[in-house]
Amino acid sequence: MDKYWREIIEIKYIADGPTPRSYWVIPDLLAAGAYPGKQGSGTKNVIPEVLEQLLESGINTFINLTEDLGGGDKLELYDPFLPSSCIVDRFPVKDVNIPTPEFMVKILNAIDTYLEGGHVPYIHCWGGIGRTGTAVGCWLIRHGHATPATVIDLLDELRLGDIEAGYRPSPETGDQLDFILDWELGK
């Protein structure tokens, strides 16, 4: 694909999400995607560009599904770059795994509480595919935006805003897929 068309496509997809590695679940109200920081030690004291983009789009609450521990080859914490008005709520789920149903209910309850309070949450794990897709899929079913029969197609459509990984299946594993497909309206 030539550079001109790639730029046109990227502009369209960037408009769909707050960053090139994210997407709106509900436009301007709820977003999801990749980790809004860097891996490893990175450049200290410099706000990651992706975090700036999220803040500029109105994101003010972060639902963090990673087991992020700063330093080394682990994820660099983004919390120090956030204004004091922002919230980071951590629900650690091991990479390529699923939470218990009870823990997922806690995650979904937190998302709903923030939405009801006028916050604009951003749900993320590291890549924005597995754990994030699992949480978003369950949230969509909980609220009747999708059924188990339609949720994967809807996730695929929503994730077109992720220009770097939107082509990858979400959720990432069979266990994550089964977890979503077993989720129930209102749960």
- How many CB atoms neighbour CB 9 within 10 A? 12
Rounded to the nearest 10°, the torsion over CA 55, 56, 59, 62 is -20
Mean pLDDT (whole number) for 55-77 = 83
Domain hosting 121: range is 3-181
Look at residue 187 and tell me if it is in a domain.
no
Whole-number Å distance between alpha carbons of 119 and 36? 17
Percentage of residues in the chain having pLDDT higher than 90? 70
Residue 124 domain-assigned? yes
Q: How far apart (Å, rounded) are the C-alpha atoms in residues 4 and 6? A: 6
State pLDDT tens for residues 80-89.
999 999 999 9
Q: Is residue 186 part of a domain?
A: no
Which CATH number does the domain housing residue 112 bear? Answer: 3.90.190.10
* Structural domain total, the chain: 1
* β-sheet bridge partners, residue 122: 31, 62
Model pTM score: 0.88
Cα dist. 126→7, 13, 44, 78, 81 in Å? 25, 20, 19, 12, 18
- 150 occurs within a structural domain: yes
